Amino acid sequence: MSFLNVNVEDRVAVITIDKAPANALSSAVLKELSFVLDELKNQEEVRVILLRGEGRFFSAGADIKEFTTVETGEEFARLAQFGQDLFEKMETFPKPIIAAIHGAALGGGLELAMGCHIRLVTKTAKLGLPELQLGLIPGFAGTQRLPRLVGSAKAFEMLFTSDPLTGEEAVRWGLANHAFEEESLMDEAFKMAKKIAQKGPISVASVIELSSFSKTQEYHDGVKREAELFGKVFTSEDGKEGIQAFIEKRAPEFKGK
């Protein structure tokens, strides 16, 4: 791979975007990320994914220079659709994906982060969708995910003004989970990732499925699926191990079965 580095430690796969100077999300970067996710999906030793950026930024956005090579609206639509499909894959991925954001997550960079399950930020990070400033609009589902996270009024303000939120503001608005000093971001992110990695893979994947299910299905259908998965998880080897470990007052050893 040319733009991504992957390191696995303690059941956590750390994916680093490394495309100087701003980790712009070119088609090549997105294709590599899609490939890496497909590879990690079935690796039993990986239970959590941590996504970060090398250098000064998480990602400052899509590769604007690449746009100059695209000529038709249909080509732009296909480019947008690929990014939308990838971030949907992330949102429904059966293993938790944590974004560790420093510097800036702007435009496509923020849309990438919003496709993750958890967002951890530095207090001074900048998170925003500045596309209207360029006479454009977000194309990777930013207009859909941002209102779900911060509410429609704040989303309209962010989109219309192009003003970003700081990391601390992002936490207050529900766009990020926690804000840290820059020097402690990765330690805190890895600590959380390892904590999640100790949970049963089947139950974790079930929670992700149900969360995604709730965004597109009726409540009645969602609770019906919850009951089905409740039975599946309870009768799994991990479910039985978790109950037995609780009775015996010991840490469970989940195997994802």
What are the tens digits of pLDDT across the range 17-61?
A: 999 999 999 999 999 999 999 999 999 999 999 999 999 999 999
Of 32, 91, 111, 169, catalytic = 111
Q: In what order do the strands lie in the sheet with 104-106?
A: 104-106, 126-128, 165-166
User: 214 pLDDT exceeds 80?
Assistant: no
Given this model, what pLDDT does residue 23 score? 96
CA distance 235 to 233: 5
- The stretch 148-153 carries a mean pLDDT of 96
Q: Which residues pair with 17 in a beta bridge?
A: 4, 53
Q: Tell me the CA distances in angstroms from 155 to 131, 146, 147, 149, 164, one per residue in order.
A: 13, 6, 5, 9, 11
223-257 residue pLDDT tens: 899 999 999 999 999 999 899 889 999 999 998 88
* Catalytic site residue from 91, 131, 209, 241: 131
Check if the beta carbon of residue 194 is closer than 8 Å to that of residue 154: no
The owner of tokens 């930024």 is 57
Told to judge if 181 belongs to the known catalytic residues of this protein, a careful annotator would answer: no
Measured CA to CA, the distance from residue 106 to residue 129 in angstroms comes to: 6
Active site residue 226: no
In the predicted model, what is the mean pLDDT of the chain? 94
Reply yes or no on whether the pLDDT at 1 is more than 90.
no
pLDDT in tens, 121-130: 999 999 999 9
